[in-house]
């Protein structure tokens, strides 16, 4: 069996589990809703942390007059019940002999990384309806740094280091982190609940399938359009319009890259344009890095401006429920100003190299490019652009339809895919194997599980409290803090795992800090994470991919050399974003 087929089945199975996993909860609720026979005590409520967020999988027990009581659960008796996904719990037990208003009841809540909490009350606190007794109580449980917290933190940081410094392929590193946390939860955690990090069901719920399916759909669309030669043709047109001016060519390449990256994944954009840029540079006897470094900066800036342009934005939009047009309205202006700043920086850094480039016989070279970089399938291109345009229309209006953006991407991908297969324009297995980046999709899935584990054990809550304390509830300080911390950290670690870590933290700060209802902290996170990726060669996936291709054809670039241009531009673009956020929010 081909590797793509195996990965496709794994992905489908995980999606199927993710969709069907709520069914047992529904079935249990139906059982619990059935009327009880004989006198019963019903105790219900929610388990919450100190952020008033629901706590799932907490164990709830009850004692009456010091004696543990058996709880009716799933048709049989049990010592404890587990809180559900919303933190809700329901205890149903038989009324013990001698129960009355003076009886002493004691609710006990336990969960790893939380302090064991007991709520005492008496029989007089219960409301009696007929022969049954009812009591409702929301319970706040404080977090504590127990064994599960420290194990999850160490595994998380280890995976982070492996991913950021490419000591191990990021998909394998994320998978290893998720597997270790789950294995500890179901081995040592079974023997001692204090070591239980995350349940399998919770880990599945942490996977954001909206992100996964959006990326998959856009990969299919781009993979089919790639067969038409449209991207290479656009590069040829840029050279034709530049008329021998290398600086103007760089500006056009950057503009085209930025616009393309706003609507397509920036990694895919650079994969398609890098070989063409290298070929043109070699003909001009110009070091390709003088064009590629600005191009990859432009791809990260362009990707920042829309919901679908950069993976961090896809994650933010899905988590916070932000629409495509909200991203456009709030991020396009600072990105456009940042792109103009990039042109000035290109002139300052690379003008001498551009002047030394040999641009002899421009007309002859233009004619050569026209012959070499043609549209290879006009019919497929026309149909593909129509489907892409319709998909982008659904992206823009998805807030009106109350439709997830992944649905739009999957619709466009499936229609274009079907047309391509029926007309035999594209070979299905070739597209599935080469154009869908299965390792990247699996990386996202395992990463969501890893971040979900440290969220469960309280590390992210600790960071959120630290930021809140540092900002002292001041919105301006919080904006500056999130923007610049995100930028500097994203420069040295992959911005995808960083963004995944910051999602619940930013959500908490948005709910807590007065004035943050405008979503300004989400824009600060998006701008910081995406623009910060320009700081170093490892800051964004597009950087790594582009420089890797350049090195493979004999044009390596050192970490420091990339940073001399990239880090300066990162500071400039983030400063522009900072001014924008403070002036208009």
Checking if the pLDDT of 505 tops 70, the result is yes
What pLDDT shows up at residue 510?
93
Answer whether 0.75 is exceeded by the pTM: yes
Tokens for 43? 């105790």
Q: What is the mean pLDDT of the chain?
A: 87
Checking if the pLDDT of 192 tops 70, the result is yes
What pLDDT shows up at residue 444?
84
Tokens for 566? 């990239």
What pLDDT shows up at residue 143?
92
Nearest to residue 321, comparing CAs of 507, 481, 454, 581?
507
114 DSSP assignment = B
What Rg value do the Cα atoms of the chain yield, rounded? 28
What does the pLDDT average to over 556-577?
93
Taking the C-alpha atoms of residue 198 and residue 189, their distance in angstroms, rounded to an integer, is: 9
What pLDDT shows up at residue 361?
67
What does the pLDDT look like over 389-402, one tens digit per residue?
999 999 889 888 88
Alpha helices (H) along 77-187: 147-164, 170-186
Tokens for 397? 């209006």
The sign of the dihedral angle between the CA atoms of 512, 514, 519, 525 is: negative
Residue 582: pLDDT band (50, 70, 90) is very high
What pLDDT shows up at residue 362?
67
What does the pLDDT look like over 424-449, one tens digit per residue?
888 888 888 888 888 888 988 998 89
Nearest to residue 314, comparing CAs of 404, 442, 190?
404
Higher pLDDT, 208 or 266: 208
What pLDDT shows up at residue 506?
93
Residue 31: pLDDT band (50, 70, 90) is very low
Q: Could you give the percent of the chain with pLDDT greater than 90? A: 55
Checking if the pLDDT of 107 tops 50, the result is yes
What does the pLDDT look like over 73-86, one tens digit per residue?
777 889 999 999 88
Taking the C-alpha atoms of residue 106 and residue 125, their distance in angstroms, rounded to an integer, is: 12
Residue 34: pLDDT band (50, 70, 90) is very low
8 Å CB contact between 238 and 256: yes
Domains present along the chain, CATH in parentheses:
28-140 (2.60.130.10), 210-457+472-584 (no CATH)
Tokens for 290? 């003088």
According to DSSP, the residues that pair with 533 across neighbouring strands are none
What pLDDT shows up at residue 3?
46
Give the CA diameter of the chain: 103
Taking the C-alpha atoms of residue 134 and residue 132, their distance in angstroms, rounded to an integer, is: 7
176 DSSP assignment = H
Taking the C-alpha atoms of residue 66 and residue 48, their distance in angstroms, rounded to an integer, is: 25
Higher pLDDT, 25 or 122: 122
Residue 191: pLDDT band (50, 70, 90) is very high
Checking if the pLDDT of 268 tops 90, the result is no
Q: How far apart, in Å, are the Cα atoms of 467 and each of 52, 473, 509, 581?
A: 18, 9, 8, 18
8 Å CB contact between 104 and 66: yes
Checking if the pLDDT of 330 tops 70, the result is yes
8 Å CB contact between 71 and 91: yes
Pairing status of strand 76-78 against strand 71-73 = antiparallel
What does the pLDDT look like over 357-368, one tens digit per residue?
766 666 777 787
What pLDDT shows up at residue 558?
85
195 DSSP assignment = G
Q: How far apart, in Å, are the Cα atoms of 268 and each of 21, 223, 359, 374, 441?
A: 33, 9, 29, 20, 14
Alpha helices (H) along 402-493: 405-422, 428-434, 438-457, 459-471, 475-492
The gap between the terminal CA atoms of the chain, to the nearest Å, is: 54
């Amino acid at each position: 069996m081909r590797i793509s087929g195996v990965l496709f089945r794994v992905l489908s199975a995980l999606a199927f589990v993710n969709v069907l996993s709520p069914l047992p909860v529904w079935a249990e609720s139906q059982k619990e809703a059935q009327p009880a026979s004989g006198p019963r005590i019903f105790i219900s409520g929610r388990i919450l942390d100190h952020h008033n967020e629901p706590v799932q999988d907490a164990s709830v027990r009850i004692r009456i007059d010091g004696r543990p009581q058996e709880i009716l659960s799933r048709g049989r008796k049990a010592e404890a019940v587990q809180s559900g996904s919303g933190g809700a719990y329901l205890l149903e037990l038989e009324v013990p002999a001698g129960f009355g208003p003076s009886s002493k009841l004691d609710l006990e809540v336990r969960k790893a990384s939380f302090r064991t909490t007991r709520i005492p009350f008496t029989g007089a606190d219960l409301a009696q309806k007929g022969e049954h007794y009812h009591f409702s109580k929301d319970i706040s449980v404080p977090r504590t740094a127990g064994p599960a917290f420290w194990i999850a933190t160490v595994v998380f940081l280890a995976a982070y280091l492996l991913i950021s410094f490419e000591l191990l392929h990021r998909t394998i590193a994320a998978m290893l982190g998720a597997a270790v946390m789950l294995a500890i939860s179901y081995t040592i955690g079974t023997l001692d609940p204090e070591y239980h990090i995350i349940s399998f069901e919770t880990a599945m719920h942490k996977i954001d399938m909206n992100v996964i399916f959006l990326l998959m759909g856009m990969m299919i669309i781009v993979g089919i359009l790639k067969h038409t030669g449209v991207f290479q043709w656009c590069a040829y047109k840029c050279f034709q319009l530049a008329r021998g001016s290398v600086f103007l060519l760089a500006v056009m390449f950057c503009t085209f890259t930025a616009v393309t990256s706003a609507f397509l994944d920036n990694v895919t954009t650079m994969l398609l344009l890098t070989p063409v840029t290298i070929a043109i540079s070699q003909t001009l006897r110009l070091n390709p890095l003088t064009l590629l470094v600005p191009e990859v900066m432009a791809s990260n800036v362009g990707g920042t401006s829309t919901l679908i342009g950069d993976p961090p934005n896809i994650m933010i939009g899905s988590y916070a429920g932000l629409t495509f047009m909200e991203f456009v309205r709030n991020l396009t202006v600072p990105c456009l100003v940042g792109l103009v700043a990039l042109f000035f920086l290109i002139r300052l850094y690379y003008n001498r190299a551009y002047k030394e480039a040999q641009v002899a016989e421009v007309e002859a070279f233009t004619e050569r490019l026209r012959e070499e970089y043609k549209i290879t399938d006009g019919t497929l291109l026309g149909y593909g652009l129509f489907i892409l345009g319709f998909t982008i229309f659904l992206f823009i209006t998805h807030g009106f339809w109350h439709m997830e953006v992944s649905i739009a991407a999957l619709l466009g991908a499936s229609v274009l895919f079907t047309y391509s297969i029926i007309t035999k324009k594209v070979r299905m297995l070739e597209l599935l194997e080469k154009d869908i980046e299965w390792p990247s999709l699996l990386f996202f899935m395992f990463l969501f599980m890893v971040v979900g584990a440290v969220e469960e054990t309280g590390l992210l809550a600790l960071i959120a409290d630290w930021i809140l304390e540092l900002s002292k509830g001041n919105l301006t300080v919080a904006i500056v803090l999130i923007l610049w911390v995100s930028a500097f950290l994203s420069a040295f670690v992959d911005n995808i795992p960083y963004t995944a870590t910051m999602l619940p933290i930013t959500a908490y700060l948005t709910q807590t800090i007065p004035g943050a209802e405008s979503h300004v902290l989400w824009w600060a996170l998006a701008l910081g994470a995406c623009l910060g990726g320009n700081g170093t060669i490892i800051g964004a996936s597009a950087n790594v991919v582009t420089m890797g291709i350049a090195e493979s054809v004999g044009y390596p670039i050192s970490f420091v050399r990339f940073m001399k241009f990239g880090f300066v531009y990162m500071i400039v673009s983030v400063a522009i974003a900072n001014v924008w956020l403070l002036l208009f929010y």
